[in-house]
Amino acid sequence: MPDNHRHAVVLGASIAGLTAARALRDTFGRVTVFDRDTLPDGSAHRRGVPQAEHAHGLLAHGRAVLEELFPGLVADLAARGAVPVDIQRDVVWVFGNRPAPRAASGLAGLCVSRALLESYLRERVAALPGVTVLDGHEATGLRYDGTRVTGATVRPVAGGADREVHADLVVDATGRGNRGASWLEALGFERPAEERIDAGTVYVSRDYRRVPGREDFAAILNAPGGPARPYGGIALGTDGDRWMVTLLGVGAGQAPPTDHDGYQAFAAKLPDPRLHRLLCAAEPLGDPVRLRLPGSVRRRYERLIRRPERLVSVGDALCSFNPAYGQGMTVAVAQARELGAAARDGLDGLPARFYARAARIIDVPWDMSAGGDLAYPQVQGPRSRRTDLLNAYVARVQAATGRDAAVARRFLEVTNLVRPPQSLMAPPMLARVLWHGRRAATPAPAPAPRPAVPV
Ligand X SMILES: Cc1cc2nc3c(=O)[nH]c(=O)nc-3n(C[C@H](O)[C@H](O)[C@H](O)COP(=O)(O)OP(=O)(O)OC[C@H]3O[C@@H](n4cnc5c(N)ncnc54)[C@H](O)[C@@H]3O)c2cc1C
The residue among 279 and 297 lying less far from ligand X, judged by its C-beta, is 297
**Counting contacts by CB under 6 A, is residue 17 touching ligand X?**
yes
Task: Please select the residue that binds ligand X; options are 8, 10, 12, 310, rule is CB under 6 A.
Answer: 12
CB burial of residue 422 (10 Å; 0-12, 13-18, 19+): exposed
**Residue 315 C-beta: closest distance to ligand X, Å:** 2
Q: Which stretch binds ligand X (CB under 6 A): 99-107, 190-198, 322-330, 409-417?
A: 322-330
- Contact residues for 11 (Cβ-Cβ < 8 A; gap 6+): 17, 34, 139, 152, 154, 170, 171, 172, 173, 174
Task: Please select the residue that binds ligand X; options are 117, 133, 173, 390, rule is CB under 6 A.
Answer: 173
Q: According to CB under 6 A, which residues from 34 to 93 bind ligand X?
A: 34-37, 48-49, 51, 54, 56-57
Q: Which stretch binds ligand X (CB under 6 A): 29-37, 63-71, 258-266, 302-310?
A: 29-37
Nearest alpha carbon to residue 147 among 345, 2, 351, 339: 351
Task: Provide the 3-class DSSP secondary structure of residue 426.
Answer: coil
- Contact residues for 304 (Cβ-Cβ < 8 A; gap 6+): 189, 190, 192
Q: According to CB under 6 A, which residues from 326 to 355 bind ligand X?
A: 326-330, 332
Residue type, 227: P
Instruction: Dump strand ranges (E) for 80-136.
Output: 83-86, 91-94, 108-111, 131-134
Task: Please select the residue that binds ligand X; options are 93, 203, 208, 411, rule is CB under 6 A.
Answer: 203
Got the DSSP string for 376-426?
Answer: STTS-S---HHHHHHHHHHHHHHHHHTT-HHHHHHHHHHHTTSS-GGGGSS
The residue among 48 and 437 lying less far from ligand X, judged by its C-beta, is 48
The residue among 69 and 332 lying less far from ligand X, judged by its C-beta, is 332
Could you tell me if 92 and 450 are in contact, meaning their C-beta atoms sit under 8 angstroms apart?
no
For ligand X, the nearest residue by Cβ is: 328
**Counting contacts by CB under 6 A, is residue 198 touching ligand X?**
no
Distances (CA, A) of 181 to 102, 173, 366: 45, 13, 20
**Counting contacts by CB under 6 A, is residue 299 touching ligand X?**
no
319 vs 368: CA distance, rounded Å: 13
**Counting contacts by CB under 6 A, is residue 207 touching ligand X?**
no
Could you tell me if 206 and 287 are in contact, meaning their C-beta atoms sit under 8 angstroms apart?
yes
Q: According to CB under 6 A, which residues from 263 to 292 bind ligand X?
A: 291
Nearest alpha carbon to residue 244 among 217, 284, 271: 284
Q: According to CB under 6 A, which residues from 115 to 154 bind ligand X?
A: 138-139
- The alpha carbon of residue 437 and the mean position of all alpha carbons in its chain are separated, in whole angstroms, by 28
**Residue 48 C-beta: closest distance to ligand X, Å:** 2
Q: Which stretch binds ligand X (CB under 6 A): 28-36, 161-169, 190-198, 225-233?
A: 28-36
Q: Which stretch binds ligand X (CB under 6 A): 25-33, 81-89, 119-127, 173-181?
A: 173-181
266 vs 377: CA distance, rounded Å: 23
Q: Which stretch binds ligand X (CB under 6 A): 249-257, 302-310, 315-323, 442-450?
A: 315-323
Q: Which stretch binds ligand X (CB under 6 A): 2-10, 121-129, 172-180, 440-448?
A: 172-180
- Contact residues for 384 (Cβ-Cβ < 8 A; gap 6+): none
Task: Please select the residue that binds ligand X; options are 8, 9, 10, 13, rule is CB under 6 A.
Answer: 13
Could you tell me if 209 and 263 are in contact, meaning their C-beta atoms sit under 8 angstroms apart?
no
Q: Which stretch binds ligand X (CB under 6 A): 33-41, 123-131, 274-282, 364-372?
A: 33-41
Residue type, 50: P
380-419 footprint of ligand X as x/- string (CB under 6 A): ----------------------------------------
Task: Provide the 3-class DSSP secondary structure of residue 243.
Answer: strand
**Residue 56 C-beta: closest distance to ligand X, Å:** 4
Could you tell me if 97 and 271 are in contact, meaning their C-beta atoms sit under 8 angstroms apart?
yes
Binding site for ligand X (CB under 6 A): 11-17, 34-37, 48-49, 51, 54, 56-57, 138-139, 173-176, 203, 291, 293, 315-317, 323, 326-330, 332
